[in-house]
Amino acid sequence: MSEWLARARQQRLLEENPAPKECAKTAKTAKTPFGSLSEDGFGSFGTTSSIPLEEIRDRFDWTALRLREEHGLAPALAHGRAVAVLRSELHNDPRLVPVQQDPRTCLVCGRPANLARILAAILSPHPDERLWLHLEPCHAEYLQHQATRVDTLLAGAGLEEM
């Protein structure tokens, strides 16, 4: 193979399969659903809503009470476990799960799949619904975004693990 042909093929491969680094850069400056900001300062992913802080406090109080009275935990231990339970529940709350506008493109960066970067389906608390996104770095960014959103809700409700 001639050097010219080898370079042309290499250039074509790069154009068809952008490097993950380039995808990561796009993910941070996404212009697709990930980018729009809601009132709470986080990406709305299109049509997600939020959860009232009063509801979060009520759920915490109920969980902590049950841990103290039904399981006999000390107040400090019940507090920490109730926050952990609540954190898990919030991660699976359908109101915090984004609605994907176009399942043919990545939820995070908005790019379509290609041979080097497939779109993987992740489960959603909405029945029969999947979210489609690239693996790394988009999946990691999605997890970080959701974790930050849950942590912010917990902090807003005055709840932290002890």
Q: Nearest 5°: phi and psi at 28? A: -75, -20
Contact window for Zn ion (CB under 5 A) among 61-69, 82-90, 126-134, 141-149: 126-134
Smallest separation, CB 135 to Zn ion (Å): 9
- Distance, CA of 35 to CA of 147 (rounded, Å): 17
The residue from 86, 138, 157, 159 that contacts Zn ion (CB under 5 A) is 138
Minimum CB separation of residue 27 from Zn ion in Å reads: 6
Q: Considering the rule CB under 5 A, would residue 149 count as an interface residue with Zn ion?
A: no
Nearer to Zn ion, 44 or 100 (CB): 100
Q: Using the rule CB under 5 A, which residue among 51, 86, 96, 109 binds Zn ion? A: 109
Q: Is 108 in the site for Zn ion (CB under 5 A)?
A: yes
Nearer to Zn ion, 108 or 154 (CB): 108
Stretch near Zn ion under the rule CB under 5 A, chosen from 50-58, 104-112, 124-132, 140-148: 104-112
106 touches Zn ion by CB under 5 A? yes
Residue among 96 and 106 whose Cβ is closer to Zn ion: 106
What is the C-alpha to C-alpha distance for residues 54 and 64, in angstroms, rounded to an integer? Answer: 15
Residues that bind Zn ion (CB under 5 A): 106, 108-109, 134, 138
